[in-house]
């Protein structure tokens, strides 16, 4: 039980660090990440803050993940809800500054990507499943037999275009994050010697199976 509680604490700390990184890239004000372009556009349509729009997008993507046969963990569910709440909290309370000069903005955006990488390391390492968007990449890669890079770039181009058409903000930062984001994640993971493929995730289906087995065991004991 103690290990589970520590893993849950780690999960939520990771979400908060991810939210800090996301808000840093947003407040850099030189163009947000492809997914945040989509979140901004969705927020413009429904008059919602970006965090709440992120939650709605996460819910839709999770449903698509399930339809594509991707395993869903409790971390997947919490990811789409909690990070959006943390993002709105940080932005509403103006806890992270907004820069208007290019070089300070560029520096904060780059640091934001690095912080986001460490946040992903913390929450993924908890072993409760990846987020909805990461799950979508995995599911589409399996379904199409295309490379992860091809699938990731294709999806991010699509969400950027849709988000821009819905009124999302696109700038030089969007291009930089699209190209360099993977390298920053790789650097963050390397500094902590983290291998994503070595993480053993516990999925919701595992818990359902465990509960069924326990119920069957109890019935057999009573019989």
User: For residue range 33-74, what is the model confidence (pLDDT) as tens digits?
Assistant: 889 899 999 999 989 888 889 989 999 999 998 898 888 888
User: How many CB atoms sit inside 10 A of residue 141's CB?
Assistant: 16
- Structure confidence at residue 138 (pLDDT): 74
User: For residue range 170-189, what is the model confidence (pLDDT) as tens digits?
Assistant: 889 898 888 887 788 888 88
Give me the chain's average pLDDT, please: 87
The whole model's pTM is what? 0.84
| Local structure of 72: helix, strand or coil | coil
Contact 136, 65 (CB under 8 A): yes
For residues 76 and 201, give the distance between their C-alpha atoms in angstroms, rounded to a whole number. 11
- Structure confidence at residue 65 (pLDDT): 87
Q: Which long-range contacts (CB under 8 A, 24 or more apart) does 1-10 make?
A: 7/126, 7/127, 7/128, 8/126, 8/128, 10/122, 10/123, 10/125, 10/126
Give first-to-last CA distance, the chain, whole Å: 30
């Amino acid at each position: 039980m103690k290990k589970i509680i520590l893993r849950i604490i780690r999960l939520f700390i990771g979400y908060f660090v991810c939210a800090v990184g996301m808000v840093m890239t947003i407040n850099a004000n030189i163009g947000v990440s492809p997914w945040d372009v989509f979140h901004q556009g969705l927020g413009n349509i429904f008059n919602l803050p970006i965090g709440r729009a992120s939650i709605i997008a996460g819910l839709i993507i999770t449903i698509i993940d399930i339809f594509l046969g991707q395993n869903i963990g409790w971390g997947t569910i919490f990811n789409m809800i909690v990070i959006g709440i943390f993002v709105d909290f940080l932005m509403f309370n103006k806890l992270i500054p907004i820069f208007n000069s290019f070089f300070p903005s560029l520096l904060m955006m780059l640091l934001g990507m690095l912080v986001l990488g460490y946040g992903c390391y913390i929450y993924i390492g908890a072993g409760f499943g990846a987020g909805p968007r990461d799950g979508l990449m995995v599911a589409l890669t399996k379904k199409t037999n295309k490379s992860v890079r091809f699938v990731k770039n294709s999806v991010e181009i699509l969400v950027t275009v849709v988000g821009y058409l819905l009124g999302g903000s696109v700038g030089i930062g969007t291009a930089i994050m699209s190209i360099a984001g993977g390298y920053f994640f790789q650097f963050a993971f390397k500094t902590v010697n983290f291998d994503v493929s070595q993480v053993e995730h516990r999925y919701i289906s595992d818990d359902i199976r465990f509960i069924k087995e326990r119920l069957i065991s109890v019935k057999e004991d009573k019989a």
